[in-house]
Structure 1
Amino acid sequence: MIRVEDGAGLRVITLSRPEKANALTADMLAEVAEAAQGAAVAGVKALVLTGEGRVFSAGADLDAAKAGLATDPVWGRASSALAGFPGLSIAALNGTLAGGAFALALACDLRIAVPGANFFYPVMRLGYLPQPQDPARLVALVGPARAKMILMAGEKIGAEEALAWGLVERIVAPDGLLDAASALARPALAATPEHVAAIKRMAG
Protein backbone atom coordinates (compact mmCIF):
# COMPACT_ATOMS: atom_id res chain seq x y z
CA MET A 1 0.00 0.00 0.00
CA ILE A 2 2.93 2.25 -0.67
CA ARG A 3 4.72 2.92 -3.93
CA VAL A 4 8.47 3.40 -4.21
CA GLU A 5 9.89 5.07 -7.31
CA ASP A 6 13.60 5.71 -7.91
CA GLY A 7 15.34 7.91 -10.42
CA ALA A 8 18.68 9.74 -10.63
CA GLY A 9 19.40 9.56 -6.91
CA LEU A 10 15.85 10.54 -5.85
CA ARG A 11 13.43 8.14 -4.16
CA VAL A 12 9.73 8.99 -3.92
CA ILE A 13 7.71 7.06 -1.34
CA THR A 14 3.95 7.45 -1.82
CA LEU A 15 1.33 6.39 0.70
CA SER A 16 -1.13 4.69 -1.64
CA ARG A 17 -4.41 3.93 0.07
CA PRO A 18 -6.52 6.86 -1.16
CA GLU A 19 -9.85 5.06 -0.68
CA LYS A 20 -9.10 5.11 3.07
CA ALA A 21 -7.51 8.59 3.16
CA ASN A 22 -4.10 6.85 3.30
CA ALA A 23 -4.85 5.61 6.82
CA LEU A 24 -1.76 3.80 8.02
CA THR A 25 -1.53 0.10 8.80
CA ALA A 26 1.35 -1.77 10.41
CA ASP A 27 2.30 -3.19 7.01
CA MET A 28 2.42 0.29 5.46
CA LEU A 29 4.62 1.60 8.27
CA ALA A 30 6.94 -1.37 7.94
CA GLU A 31 7.17 -0.74 4.19
CA VAL A 32 8.00 2.94 4.77
CA ALA A 33 10.74 1.88 7.19
CA GLU A 34 12.20 -0.59 4.71
CA ALA A 35 12.09 1.95 1.87
CA ALA A 36 13.86 4.60 3.96
CA GLN A 37 16.43 2.19 5.38
CA GLY A 38 17.24 0.81 1.96
CA ALA A 39 17.52 4.22 0.32
CA ALA A 40 21.13 4.92 1.25
CA VAL A 41 22.20 1.43 0.21
CA ALA A 42 20.56 2.05 -3.17
CA GLY A 43 22.57 5.24 -3.69
CA VAL A 44 19.63 7.55 -3.00
CA LYS A 45 20.66 11.09 -2.01
CA ALA A 46 17.21 12.64 -1.54
CA LEU A 47 13.93 11.17 -0.39
CA VAL A 48 10.41 12.52 -0.90
CA LEU A 49 7.48 11.23 1.15
CA THR A 50 4.01 12.04 -0.16
CA GLY A 51 0.47 10.67 -0.38
CA GLU A 52 -1.90 9.71 -3.16
CA GLY A 53 -5.13 11.66 -3.53
CA ARG A 54 -6.36 14.67 -1.57
CA VAL A 55 -5.17 13.61 1.92
CA PHE A 56 -1.60 12.92 3.02
CA SER A 57 -2.78 10.56 5.74
CA ALA A 58 -5.62 10.33 8.23
CA GLY A 59 -3.21 8.70 10.70
CA ALA A 60 -3.65 5.21 12.04
CA ASP A 61 -6.29 2.98 10.52
CA LEU A 62 -8.98 3.04 13.23
CA ASP A 63 -9.61 -0.70 13.30
CA ALA A 64 -5.89 -1.37 13.44
CA ALA A 65 -5.45 1.24 16.17
CA LYS A 66 -8.09 -0.46 18.32
CA ALA A 67 -6.30 -3.77 17.72
CA GLY A 68 -3.02 -2.40 19.09
CA LEU A 69 -1.43 -0.38 16.30
CA ALA A 70 -1.67 2.85 18.31
CA THR A 71 1.08 1.63 20.63
CA ASP A 72 2.99 -0.60 18.21
CA PRO A 73 6.76 0.06 17.99
CA VAL A 74 6.46 0.01 14.19
CA TRP A 75 5.69 3.75 14.40
CA GLY A 76 9.08 4.40 15.93
CA ARG A 77 10.73 2.13 13.40
CA ALA A 78 9.24 4.08 10.49
CA SER A 79 9.97 7.55 11.86
CA SER A 80 13.48 6.55 12.98
CA ALA A 81 14.23 5.17 9.52
CA LEU A 82 13.19 8.46 7.93
CA ALA A 83 15.11 10.53 10.47
CA GLY A 84 18.16 8.31 10.07
CA PHE A 85 18.30 8.63 6.29
CA PRO A 86 21.66 10.36 5.65
CA GLY A 87 20.46 12.38 2.67
CA LEU A 88 17.87 15.14 2.36
CA SER A 89 14.31 14.05 3.20
CA ILE A 90 11.27 16.08 2.20
CA ALA A 91 7.65 15.53 3.22
CA ALA A 92 5.52 16.72 0.30
CA LEU A 93 2.19 17.01 2.06
CA ASN A 94 -0.53 16.73 -0.56
CA GLY A 95 -3.30 17.34 1.98
CA THR A 96 -4.33 16.98 5.59
CA LEU A 97 -2.30 14.86 7.99
CA ALA A 98 -3.55 13.64 11.32
CA GLY A 99 -2.39 11.69 14.32
CA GLY A 100 0.46 9.30 13.81
CA ALA A 101 1.07 10.58 10.30
CA PHE A 102 2.69 13.52 12.05
CA ALA A 103 5.48 11.14 13.10
CA LEU A 104 6.45 10.58 9.47
CA ALA A 105 6.34 14.25 8.49
CA LEU A 106 8.21 15.42 11.59
CA ALA A 107 10.98 12.91 10.93
CA CYS A 108 11.75 14.51 7.55
CA ASP A 109 14.22 17.38 7.12
CA LEU A 110 11.79 19.64 5.25
CA ARG A 111 8.03 19.87 4.88
CA ILE A 112 6.10 21.53 2.07
CA ALA A 113 2.30 21.51 1.87
CA VAL A 114 -0.61 22.36 -0.37
CA PRO A 115 -2.82 25.33 0.64
CA GLY A 116 -5.71 23.19 1.86
CA ALA A 117 -3.67 21.00 4.21
CA ASN A 118 -4.68 20.85 7.87
CA PHE A 119 -2.54 19.52 10.69
CA PHE A 120 -3.93 17.92 13.82
CA TYR A 121 -2.85 15.33 16.34
CA PRO A 122 -5.88 14.33 18.46
CA VAL A 123 -4.10 12.19 21.04
CA MET A 124 -5.65 14.03 23.99
CA ARG A 125 -9.18 13.37 22.74
CA LEU A 126 -8.49 9.76 21.73
CA GLY A 127 -6.71 8.80 24.95
CA TYR A 128 -3.39 7.83 23.37
CA LEU A 129 0.09 9.21 23.91
CA PRO A 130 1.93 10.71 20.94
CA GLN A 131 4.74 8.70 19.42
CA PRO A 132 7.78 9.10 21.75
CA GLN A 133 9.94 11.13 19.34
CA ASP A 134 7.17 13.46 18.16
CA PRO A 135 6.87 16.01 21.00
CA ALA A 136 10.58 16.88 20.93
CA ARG A 137 10.61 17.14 17.14
CA LEU A 138 7.49 19.30 17.23
CA VAL A 139 8.93 21.56 19.94
CA ALA A 140 12.12 21.99 17.89
CA LEU A 141 10.03 23.33 15.02
CA VAL A 142 7.31 25.41 16.67
CA GLY A 143 8.32 25.85 20.32
CA PRO A 144 6.79 24.33 23.46
CA ALA A 145 3.62 26.42 23.70
CA ARG A 146 2.58 25.80 20.11
CA ALA A 147 3.43 22.12 20.48
CA LYS A 148 1.02 22.04 23.42
CA MET A 149 -1.59 23.82 21.30
CA ILE A 150 -1.44 20.87 18.89
CA LEU A 151 -0.93 18.00 21.32
CA MET A 152 -2.85 19.15 24.40
CA ALA A 153 -5.44 21.65 23.17
CA GLY A 154 -6.04 19.57 20.07
CA GLU A 155 -5.96 22.58 17.75
CA LYS A 156 -6.31 22.00 14.02
CA ILE A 157 -3.70 24.13 12.24
CA GLY A 158 -4.20 25.27 8.66
CA ALA A 159 -1.43 25.55 6.10
CA GLU A 160 -0.92 29.32 6.43
CA GLU A 161 -0.65 29.09 10.21
CA ALA A 162 1.64 26.08 9.89
CA LEU A 163 3.90 28.16 7.65
CA ALA A 164 3.91 31.07 10.09
CA TRP A 165 4.73 28.72 12.97
CA GLY A 166 7.58 27.00 11.13
CA LEU A 167 5.82 23.65 10.92
CA VAL A 168 6.17 23.76 7.13
CA GLU A 169 8.76 25.58 5.05
CA ARG A 170 6.68 26.41 1.99
CA ILE A 171 3.12 26.27 0.62
CA VAL A 172 2.92 24.96 -2.94
CA ALA A 173 0.09 24.56 -5.46
CA PRO A 174 -1.11 20.95 -5.64
CA ASP A 175 -0.16 20.50 -9.27
CA GLY A 176 3.39 21.63 -8.54
CA LEU A 177 4.02 19.80 -5.28
CA LEU A 178 6.35 17.07 -6.50
CA ASP A 179 8.13 19.47 -8.85
CA ALA A 180 8.76 21.78 -5.89
CA ALA A 181 10.10 18.88 -3.82
CA SER A 182 12.37 17.82 -6.68
CA ALA A 183 13.67 21.38 -7.02
CA LEU A 184 14.56 21.47 -3.33
CA ALA A 185 16.38 18.16 -3.75
CA ARG A 186 18.33 19.22 -6.84
CA PRO A 187 21.49 20.52 -5.09
CA ALA A 188 21.71 17.33 -3.01
CA LEU A 189 21.26 15.21 -6.11
CA ALA A 190 24.20 16.99 -7.74
CA ALA A 191 26.50 16.36 -4.74
CA THR A 192 28.18 13.22 -3.48
CA PRO A 193 26.37 11.19 -0.81
CA GLU A 194 29.23 11.92 1.61
CA HIS A 195 28.90 15.67 1.09
CA VAL A 196 25.13 15.57 1.61
CA ALA A 197 25.48 13.50 4.78
CA ALA A 198 28.22 15.77 6.18
CA ILE A 199 26.14 18.92 5.75
CA LYS A 200 23.11 17.22 7.26
CA ARG A 201 25.13 16.25 10.34
CA MET A 202 26.43 19.82 10.68
CA ALA A 203 22.92 21.28 10.39
CA GLY A 204 21.68 19.01 13.17
Structure 2
Amino acid sequence: IITSAKPRVFSSGANIKMLATASHAAKVNFCKFTNETRCAMEQATALSGQYYLAVINGSASGGGYALALSCEHIMLVDDGSSRVALPELPLLGVLPATGGLTRLVDKRKIRRDYADIFCTTAEGVGGKRAIEWGLVDELVAPSKMEEASLLRARLLAGTDGRPDRKGITLTPLNRRVSGDQINYGYLAVEINRGKSCAAFTLHGPEERCSVGLEEVLAQGAEFWLLQLARELDDAILHLRTNRPDINCWIFKVVGEREILNSYDSLLVDGVGNWFLEEIRLFWIRVLKRLDVTSRSLMAIVDTGSGFSGILFE
Protein backbone atom coordinates (compact mmCIF):
# COMPACT_ATOMS: atom_id res chain seq x y z
CA ILE A 1 0.00 0.00 0.00
CA ILE A 2 1.51 3.32 -1.09
CA THR A 3 0.09 6.33 0.73
CA SER A 4 1.28 9.48 2.47
CA ALA A 5 1.95 10.08 6.16
CA LYS A 6 1.33 13.78 5.62
CA PRO A 7 -2.17 15.26 5.60
CA ARG A 8 -3.59 16.69 2.35
CA VAL A 9 -0.53 15.81 0.25
CA PHE A 10 0.07 12.40 -1.35
CA SER A 11 3.01 13.53 -3.49
CA SER A 12 3.48 16.67 -5.51
CA GLY A 13 6.20 15.17 -7.68
CA ALA A 14 9.64 16.52 -8.45
CA ASN A 15 11.29 19.49 -6.79
CA ILE A 16 11.06 21.86 -9.75
CA LYS A 17 13.44 24.45 -8.28
CA MET A 18 16.03 21.74 -7.75
CA LEU A 19 15.64 20.45 -11.31
CA ALA A 20 15.83 23.99 -12.71
CA THR A 21 19.36 24.39 -11.34
CA ALA A 22 20.47 20.80 -12.07
CA SER A 23 22.64 19.82 -15.01
CA HIS A 24 21.11 18.20 -18.06
CA ALA A 25 22.73 14.87 -17.14
CA ALA A 26 21.22 15.02 -13.64
CA LYS A 27 17.75 15.65 -15.08
CA VAL A 28 18.10 12.75 -17.50
CA ASN A 29 19.28 10.40 -14.74
CA PHE A 30 16.44 11.53 -12.50
CA CYS A 31 13.79 10.84 -15.13
CA LYS A 32 15.30 7.50 -16.09
CA PHE A 33 15.61 6.21 -12.54
CA THR A 34 12.09 7.22 -11.54
CA ASN A 35 10.59 5.52 -14.58
CA GLU A 36 12.78 2.43 -14.17
CA THR A 37 11.42 2.17 -10.62
CA ARG A 38 7.83 2.37 -11.88
CA CYS A 39 8.54 -0.17 -14.63
CA ALA A 40 9.94 -2.55 -11.98
CA MET A 41 6.70 -2.19 -10.01
CA GLU A 42 4.66 -3.01 -13.10
CA GLN A 43 6.91 -5.96 -13.93
CA ALA A 44 6.43 -7.29 -10.39
CA THR A 45 2.66 -7.06 -10.81
CA ALA A 46 2.63 -8.72 -14.23
CA LEU A 47 5.13 -11.51 -13.58
CA SER A 48 5.68 -11.90 -9.83
CA GLY A 49 2.14 -11.61 -8.45
CA GLN A 50 3.10 -8.59 -6.36
CA TYR A 51 0.39 -5.94 -6.33
CA TYR A 52 0.66 -2.25 -5.55
CA LEU A 53 -2.24 -0.18 -4.23
CA ALA A 54 -2.09 3.62 -4.27
CA VAL A 55 -4.20 5.31 -1.60
CA ILE A 56 -4.25 9.00 -2.54
CA ASN A 57 -5.06 11.00 0.59
CA GLY A 58 -4.26 14.46 -0.74
CA SER A 59 -2.95 16.07 -3.90
CA ALA A 60 -1.11 13.78 -6.31
CA SER A 61 0.50 15.73 -9.11
CA GLY A 62 3.23 15.18 -11.67
CA GLY A 63 5.52 12.38 -10.59
CA GLY A 64 3.28 11.72 -7.59
CA TYR A 65 0.38 10.79 -9.83
CA ALA A 66 2.77 8.94 -12.17
CA LEU A 67 3.73 6.78 -9.17
CA ALA A 68 0.05 6.02 -8.57
CA LEU A 69 -0.39 5.17 -12.26
CA SER A 70 2.20 2.41 -11.83
CA CYS A 71 0.01 0.74 -9.24
CA GLU A 72 -2.57 -1.92 -9.99
CA HIS A 73 -5.34 -0.03 -8.21
CA ILE A 74 -5.78 3.66 -7.36
CA MET A 75 -7.97 4.68 -4.44
CA LEU A 76 -8.82 8.39 -4.02
CA VAL A 77 -10.07 9.86 -0.75
CA ASP A 78 -13.29 11.77 -1.41
CA ASP A 79 -12.66 14.75 0.86
CA GLY A 80 -13.27 17.57 -1.60
CA SER A 81 -9.58 18.50 -1.89
CA SER A 82 -7.73 15.32 -2.90
CA ARG A 83 -7.03 15.45 -6.63
CA VAL A 84 -4.81 13.97 -9.32
CA ALA A 85 -2.97 16.08 -11.88
CA LEU A 86 -0.28 16.14 -14.56
CA PRO A 87 0.40 19.89 -14.50
CA GLU A 88 3.74 19.93 -16.31
CA LEU A 89 2.35 21.40 -19.54
CA PRO A 90 0.37 24.37 -18.16
CA LEU A 91 2.90 25.18 -15.41
CA LEU A 92 6.25 24.42 -17.06
CA GLY A 93 5.57 24.15 -20.77
CA VAL A 94 6.90 20.57 -20.96
CA LEU A 95 5.25 17.18 -21.36
CA PRO A 96 5.25 14.73 -18.42
CA ALA A 97 8.72 13.17 -18.66
CA THR A 98 8.37 9.83 -16.91
CA GLY A 99 5.53 8.03 -18.68
CA GLY A 100 2.46 9.72 -17.21
CA LEU A 101 0.63 10.29 -20.50
CA THR A 102 1.62 6.89 -21.84
CA ARG A 103 0.22 5.16 -18.79
CA LEU A 104 -2.97 7.20 -18.98
CA VAL A 105 -3.74 6.30 -22.58
CA ASP A 106 -2.10 2.89 -23.09
CA LYS A 107 -2.43 1.36 -19.63
CA ARG A 108 -5.61 2.89 -18.22
CA LYS A 109 -7.22 3.37 -21.67
CA ILE A 110 -8.29 6.95 -20.95
CA ARG A 111 -10.10 8.63 -23.82
CA ARG A 112 -7.61 10.82 -25.67
CA ASP A 113 -9.79 13.91 -25.45
CA TYR A 114 -10.02 13.45 -21.68
CA ALA A 115 -6.23 13.01 -21.55
CA ASP A 116 -5.77 16.24 -23.53
CA ILE A 117 -7.99 18.19 -21.15
CA PHE A 118 -6.44 16.55 -18.09
CA CYS A 119 -2.81 17.33 -18.97
CA THR A 120 -3.65 20.98 -19.69
CA THR A 121 -5.56 21.53 -16.45
CA ALA A 122 -3.12 22.61 -13.74
CA GLU A 123 -5.55 22.15 -10.84
CA GLY A 124 -6.23 18.53 -11.75
CA VAL A 125 -9.33 16.41 -11.33
CA GLY A 126 -10.93 14.90 -8.24
CA GLY A 127 -14.10 13.30 -6.93
CA LYS A 128 -16.65 11.71 -9.25
CA ARG A 129 -15.08 13.14 -12.39
CA ALA A 130 -11.82 11.32 -11.61
CA ILE A 131 -13.83 8.10 -11.49
CA GLU A 132 -15.85 8.87 -14.61
CA TRP A 133 -12.74 9.67 -16.64
CA GLY A 134 -10.94 6.55 -15.38
CA LEU A 135 -8.17 8.50 -13.65
CA VAL A 136 -8.70 6.51 -10.44
CA ASP A 137 -10.45 3.23 -9.65
CA GLU A 138 -12.25 3.92 -6.40
CA LEU A 139 -13.51 6.75 -4.20
CA VAL A 140 -13.59 6.30 -0.42
CA ALA A 141 -14.74 8.51 2.43
CA PRO A 142 -11.93 9.80 4.68
CA SER A 143 -13.35 7.95 7.68
CA LYS A 144 -13.28 4.66 5.73
CA MET A 145 -9.82 5.08 4.15
CA GLU A 146 -7.86 2.68 6.36
CA GLU A 147 -10.54 0.01 6.42
CA ALA A 148 -11.17 0.22 2.68
CA SER A 149 -7.47 0.14 1.77
CA LEU A 150 -6.83 -2.96 3.88
CA LEU A 151 -9.84 -4.70 2.34
CA ARG A 152 -8.71 -3.83 -1.18
CA ALA A 153 -5.16 -4.97 -0.40
CA ARG A 154 -6.44 -8.35 0.77
CA LEU A 155 -8.52 -8.72 -2.39
CA LEU A 156 -5.50 -7.92 -4.56
CA ALA A 157 -3.25 -10.28 -2.63
CA GLY A 158 -5.72 -13.18 -2.89
CA THR A 159 -5.73 -16.25 -0.70
CA ASP A 160 -2.40 -17.78 -1.77
CA GLY A 161 -0.09 -17.54 1.22
CA ARG A 162 2.94 -18.59 -0.87
CA PRO A 163 4.17 -21.14 1.67
CA ASP A 164 6.99 -22.17 -0.70
CA ARG A 165 8.56 -18.69 -0.67
CA LYS A 166 10.82 -18.32 2.32
CA GLY A 167 12.68 -15.33 0.95
CA ILE A 168 16.35 -14.42 1.30
CA THR A 169 18.33 -11.56 2.83
CA LEU A 170 19.89 -9.17 0.33
CA THR A 171 23.11 -8.42 2.18
CA PRO A 172 24.99 -5.15 1.44
CA LEU A 173 27.25 -5.25 -1.60
CA ASN A 174 31.00 -5.07 -1.04
CA ARG A 175 31.92 -2.16 -3.34
CA ARG A 176 35.55 -1.12 -2.95
CA VAL A 177 36.63 2.14 -4.60
CA SER A 178 40.33 2.91 -4.95
CA GLY A 179 41.08 5.87 -7.19
CA ASP A 180 39.71 5.00 -10.62
CA GLN A 181 39.22 1.33 -9.76
CA ILE A 182 35.93 -0.11 -8.51
CA ASN A 183 35.94 -3.72 -7.34
CA TYR A 184 33.16 -6.09 -6.35
CA GLY A 185 33.12 -9.84 -5.87
CA TYR A 186 32.58 -10.79 -9.54
CA LEU A 187 32.95 -7.40 -11.23
CA ALA A 188 35.80 -4.95 -11.67
CA VAL A 189 35.49 -1.51 -13.27
CA GLU A 190 38.60 0.38 -14.37
CA ILE A 191 38.12 4.02 -15.33
CA ASN A 192 40.42 5.81 -17.75
CA ARG A 193 39.78 9.52 -17.35
CA GLY A 194 42.07 10.55 -20.19
CA LYS A 195 40.21 8.40 -22.71
CA SER A 196 36.80 8.93 -21.05
CA CYS A 197 36.12 5.20 -20.89
CA ALA A 198 35.39 2.55 -18.29
CA ALA A 199 36.26 -1.13 -18.68
CA PHE A 200 33.81 -3.53 -17.02
CA THR A 201 35.26 -7.00 -16.44
CA LEU A 202 32.67 -9.57 -15.39
CA HIS A 203 34.05 -12.74 -13.83
CA GLY A 204 32.35 -16.09 -14.04
CA PRO A 205 32.37 -18.68 -11.24
CA GLU A 206 35.23 -21.13 -10.91
CA GLU A 207 33.12 -24.29 -10.74
CA ARG A 208 30.10 -25.67 -12.57
CA CYS A 209 26.69 -25.20 -11.06
CA SER A 210 26.04 -28.67 -9.71
CA VAL A 211 23.80 -27.77 -6.78
CA GLY A 212 20.07 -28.32 -6.46
CA LEU A 213 17.35 -25.73 -6.04
CA GLU A 214 17.41 -25.97 -2.24
CA GLU A 215 21.16 -25.34 -2.14
CA VAL A 216 20.78 -22.39 -4.51
CA LEU A 217 18.24 -20.85 -2.17
CA ALA A 218 20.56 -21.51 0.77
CA GLN A 219 23.32 -19.52 -0.99
CA GLY A 220 20.87 -16.63 -1.22
CA ALA A 221 22.47 -13.32 -2.18
CA GLU A 222 25.84 -15.06 -2.72
CA PHE A 223 24.51 -17.19 -5.58
CA TRP A 224 26.66 -16.15 -8.54
CA LEU A 225 23.90 -15.17 -10.96
CA LEU A 226 22.18 -12.98 -8.37
CA GLN A 227 25.34 -11.45 -6.90
CA LEU A 228 26.71 -10.49 -10.31
CA ALA A 229 23.37 -8.97 -11.37
CA ARG A 230 23.28 -6.82 -8.22
CA GLU A 231 26.92 -5.75 -8.66
CA LEU A 232 26.41 -4.82 -12.31
CA ASP A 233 23.24 -2.90 -11.47
CA ASP A 234 25.06 -0.98 -8.74
CA ALA A 235 27.99 -0.14 -11.02
CA ILE A 236 25.69 1.08 -13.80
CA LEU A 237 23.90 3.43 -11.43
CA HIS A 238 27.14 4.57 -9.80
CA LEU A 239 28.78 5.55 -13.09
CA ARG A 240 25.59 6.88 -14.60
CA THR A 241 25.08 9.23 -11.65
CA ASN A 242 28.58 10.08 -10.44
CA ARG A 243 30.74 9.85 -13.57
CA PRO A 244 29.00 11.72 -16.41
CA ASP A 245 32.50 12.45 -17.77
CA ILE A 246 32.93 8.79 -18.78
CA ASN A 247 31.34 8.42 -22.21
CA CYS A 248 32.36 4.94 -23.33
CA TRP A 249 31.76 1.70 -21.44
CA ILE A 250 33.64 -1.42 -22.54
CA PHE A 251 32.51 -4.88 -21.41
CA LYS A 252 34.62 -8.00 -21.08
CA VAL A 253 33.76 -11.40 -19.61
CA VAL A 254 36.29 -13.77 -18.09
CA GLY A 255 35.14 -17.33 -17.55
CA GLU A 256 34.76 -20.84 -18.93
CA ARG A 257 31.83 -21.10 -21.30
CA GLU A 258 30.87 -24.58 -20.10
CA ILE A 259 30.72 -23.38 -16.51
CA LEU A 260 28.66 -20.33 -17.44
CA ASN A 261 26.27 -22.46 -19.49
CA SER A 262 25.66 -24.70 -16.49
CA TYR A 263 24.11 -21.74 -14.68
CA ASP A 264 21.93 -20.93 -17.67
CA SER A 265 20.82 -24.55 -17.76
CA LEU A 266 19.78 -24.26 -14.13
CA LEU A 267 17.52 -21.32 -15.02
CA VAL A 268 15.95 -23.34 -17.84
CA ASP A 269 15.52 -26.50 -15.76
CA GLY A 270 14.20 -24.50 -12.81
CA VAL A 271 11.22 -22.98 -14.62
CA GLY A 272 8.48 -22.54 -12.03
CA ASN A 273 10.89 -22.01 -9.15
CA TRP A 274 10.12 -18.56 -7.73
CA PHE A 275 13.72 -17.73 -6.74
CA LEU A 276 15.24 -18.53 -10.11
CA GLU A 277 12.42 -16.68 -11.84
CA GLU A 278 13.10 -13.56 -9.76
CA ILE A 279 16.79 -13.75 -10.70
CA ARG A 280 15.84 -13.94 -14.38
CA LEU A 281 13.52 -10.95 -14.02
CA PHE A 282 16.25 -9.04 -12.18
CA TRP A 283 18.63 -9.62 -15.10
CA ILE A 284 15.96 -8.31 -17.48
CA ARG A 285 15.76 -5.09 -15.45
CA VAL A 286 19.55 -4.72 -15.32
CA LEU A 287 19.94 -5.18 -19.08
CA LYS A 288 17.11 -2.75 -19.77
CA ARG A 289 18.82 -0.22 -17.51
CA LEU A 290 22.00 -0.70 -19.55
CA ASP A 291 20.04 -0.24 -22.80
CA VAL A 292 18.96 3.29 -21.87
CA THR A 293 22.13 4.46 -20.15
CA SER A 294 23.05 6.84 -23.03
CA ARG A 295 26.69 5.87 -23.29
CA SER A 296 28.68 4.35 -26.11
CA LEU A 297 28.68 0.64 -25.24
CA MET A 298 31.21 -1.87 -26.56
CA ALA A 299 31.76 -5.56 -25.93
CA ILE A 300 35.19 -7.04 -26.63
CA VAL A 301 35.11 -10.75 -27.45
CA ASP A 302 38.55 -12.31 -27.61
CA THR A 303 40.28 -15.56 -26.73
CA GLY A 304 38.97 -16.90 -23.47
CA SER A 305 35.93 -14.61 -23.39
CA GLY A 306 32.92 -15.96 -21.58
CA PHE A 307 30.14 -14.22 -23.49
CA SER A 308 27.59 -17.00 -23.23
CA GLY A 309 23.98 -17.28 -22.17
CA ILE A 310 22.83 -14.32 -20.09
CA LEU A 311 26.24 -12.68 -20.42
CA PHE A 312 26.00 -12.93 -24.21
CA GLU A 313 22.80 -10.93 -23.93
Name the TM-score, length of structure 2 as normaliser: 0.43
Are the counterparts in 2 of residues 75 and 131 from structure 1 also a CA contact under 8 Å? no
Structure 1 position 184 matched with structure 2 position 152: yes
Q: Which consecutive residues of structure 2, in runs of 5 or more, have no partner in the other structure?
A: 164-313
- Name the stretch that deviates more: 147-156 or 91-100: 147-156
Distance 2:129 2:27 in 1: 27
> Which of the numbers 74, 77, 85 marks the counterpart of 1:120?
85
Residue aligning to 1:79: 38
Are the counterparts in 2 of residues 93 and 113 from structure 1 also a CA contact under 8 Å? yes
Deviation at 1:157, TM superposition (A): 0.9
Structure 1 position 174 matched with structure 2 position 142: yes
Residue aligning to 2:2: 49
Judging changes above 3 Å, is the alpha-carbon distance between structure 1 residues 144 and 182 closer, same or farther for their aligned structure 2 residues?
same
Deviation at 1:163, TM superposition (A): 1.0
**Superposed CA RMSD:** 2.3
Letter of the 1:166 counterpart = G
Distance 1:67 1:82 in 2: 29
Deviation at 1:132, TM superposition (A): 4.1
Deviation at 1:193, TM superposition (A): 5.1
Distance 1:98 1:182 in 2: 24
Residue aligning to 1:90: 53
Name the TM-score, length of structure 1 as normaliser: 0.64
Structure 1 position 101 matched with structure 2 position 64: yes
Letter of the 1:129 counterpart = L
Deviation at 1:178, TM superposition (A): 2.8
Residue aligning to 1:58: 12
Question: What percentage of residue pairs aligned between the two structures are identical?
Answer: 29
Structure 1 position 137 matched with structure 2 position 90: no
Counting matched residue pairs gives 147
Deviation at 1:153, TM superposition (A): 4.9
If asked which structure has higher relative contact order (CA below 8 Å, sep 6+), I would say: 1
Residue aligning to 1:26: none
Residue aligning to 2:291: none
Residue aligning to 1:161: 129
Letter of the 2:3 counterpart = T
1:18-74 deviations in Å (ceiling 9; x for gaps): xxxxxxxxxxxxxxxxxxxxxxxxxxxxxx111122210111123322234654222
Deviation at 1:112, TM superposition (A): 0.5
Of structures 1 and 2, the larger Rg is shown by 2
